Structure 1
Amino acid sequence: MAWILAGLGFGFLGSFHCIGMCGPIALSLPRKQPGRLHFLASRLLYNLGRLITYATLGGVVGFLSRIISIGGYQQSLSIAVGSLLLLSPLWKKMRPAFNRMGGLPNHYAQHITARIKRLFGSGSPGSLFLIGLLNGLLPCGFVYMALATAATTGGILPGLLFMAAFGLGTFPAMLGISLAGGFISLAARQRLQKLSPYFIAIVGIILILRGLNLGIPFLSPAL
């Protein structure tokens, strides 16, 4: 339950970053079927596709973390991921340098974007769902941080549930921008986005405490 709540919080606060990154895709989704119900269903399919991609990735990293846990490195992983989350604000300063480097990440993003653009020609439910699936694979620093956190869950199901909750947490903002073209003001988005570093820092501290094995029930138990 704790992982689900953490994922929801992570996703909700991160969704205001998502509006800037993935909002243009959500706003540009084709609309071939008339009527509000069809429109709502199509946007739900798109967001469901994103959620399934996130959940699948969460299950994969959860499986890998299970292997690490069996090897006895779960505590070290928890401390390492927590430290990375605390250092994540540095990413904004480092990102321009990574962008100038180009290479594989940019080619990967261009490949995914090209596939998404090809699907825009169709307004079928299946194409909207596929756009969501592919959207979930686009490079995103916030998704990477969520996956790093999922990697500390120690199992397939917890990792899957954390990332599914993360995806669900992004639903209100992403669905809202599709339906209303921006249901929340820029000023309100900026205020909420300012909260995300604090939430990430709290999660990072909790992960470090879990890894330290201090014997504190629920907060820093033996792993």
Structure 2
Amino acid sequence: MLYSALILGLLSSLHCIGMCGPIAMMLPVDRHNPAKKAIQIMLYHTGRLTAYGSLGLIFGTLGKGLYLAGMQQQMAIIAGVLMIVVAMTPEKIFARYNFSKPVYKLIAKVKTGLGNQFKKRSYKALFITGLLNGYLPCGMVYAALFGAIAMQNTTLGFGYMVLYGVGTIPMMSAVVYVSGFMSGHWRNKLASYVPYVAVFIGMLFIMRGLGLGIPYISPSDASLFVQNNPDCVVINP
């Protein structure tokens, strides 16, 4: 299911263009040195991937705990349902009822303090900008985090979120390289399809949890509970 993270990231980046695009367009990159500009942009993306990866470690560990509690398939179903709910919830609802608002205000203050570093075109400032950007509240990131939980493994949770971030890189880079990238009409039109993609991925997680016997998608041999005393057969030579 790791591939779903890349797909979700690639398509949700259409949503990111509207939310985080202005930050990317204001990055203090060198417009006259292509090589330096590429390094600066990648530092920004590295900061975002670091943020996503750290969140993946936390939520992947949470998923592992639920796995050890015998909730493998149930967790996949719950994560899929929550992913669908988040994807279909209007963004204005998150803006109004966001439990991470205190953190958001703190990040906003830190970003304001980075203004002087941006003017100096500091590599460190670009990395930190990406790091803070990755921690900003975002409905699609929330959806990806439910996928990280469903991985039921700390490493896979980390990998899921990093792949999600990698999927957002092409579009977010295009915003920096191409002024006026894609008209507002087409951005809005394509972004309107993003929730449906998240719903599709959520359905994949639900199908995986149901154990329908579909190879690679919904294997039937996944057990509902972790057996404390598995039956073992010892074959003597």
Q: TM-score, normalised by structure 2?
A: 0.84
Superposition deviation, residue 35 in structure 1: 2.0
Q: Closer, same or farther in 2 for the Cα pair 1:216/1:34, shift >3 Å? A: closer
Residues in 2 aligned to 1:31 and 1:63: alpha-carbon distance in whole angstroms: 36
Superposition deviation, residue 209 in structure 1: 1.3
Superposition deviation, residue 25 in structure 1: 1.0
Partner deviation per Cα, 1:60-81 (whole Å, 9 max, x = no partner): 2111111110110121111111
Give the equivalent residue in structure 1 for 2:5: 7
Give the equivalent residue in structure 2 for 1:63: 61
Give the equivalent residue in structure 1 for 2:131: 133
Superposition deviation, residue 97 in structure 1: 5.1
The yes-or-no answer on 1:114 pairing with 2:121 is no
Structure 2 residues without counterparts, runs of 5 or longer? 224-237
Q: Which has the higher helix share?
A: 1
Give the equivalent residue in structure 2 for 1:27: 25
Bigger shift: residues 206-215 or 71-80? 206-215
Residues in 2 aligned to 1:188 and 1:217: alpha-carbon distance in whole angstroms: 37
Equivalent position to 1:160, from 153, 158, 161: 158
Q: Are the equivalent residues in 1 in contact too, given 2:43–2:127 (CA < 8 A)? A: yes
Structure number with larger C-alpha Rg:
2
Structure 1 residues without counterparts, runs of 5 or longer? none
The CA RMSD over aligned residues, in Å, is 2.0
Equivalent position to 1:184, from 159, 182, 185: 182
Give the equivalent residue in structure 1 for 2:226: none
Q: Which amino acid aligns with 1:173?
A: M
Partner deviation per Cα, 1:29-69 (whole Å, 9 max, x = no partner): 22468522222211111011101111121122111111110
Residues in 1 aligned to 2:41 and 2:192: alpha-carbon distance in whole angstroms: 27
Give the equivalent residue in structure 1 for 2:100: 105
Q: Which amino acid aligns with 1:141?
A: G
Secondary structure at the counterpart of residue 76 of structure 1:
helix
Q: Closer, same or farther in 2 for the Cα pair 1:187/1:84, shift >3 Å? A: same
Superposition deviation, residue 157 in structure 1: 1.7
How many aligned residue pairs are there? 218
Q: TM-score, normalised by structure 1?
A: 0.89
Q: Closer, same or farther in 2 for the Cα pair 1:96/1:199, shift >3 Å? A: closer
Secondary structure at the counterpart of residue 201 of structure 2:
helix
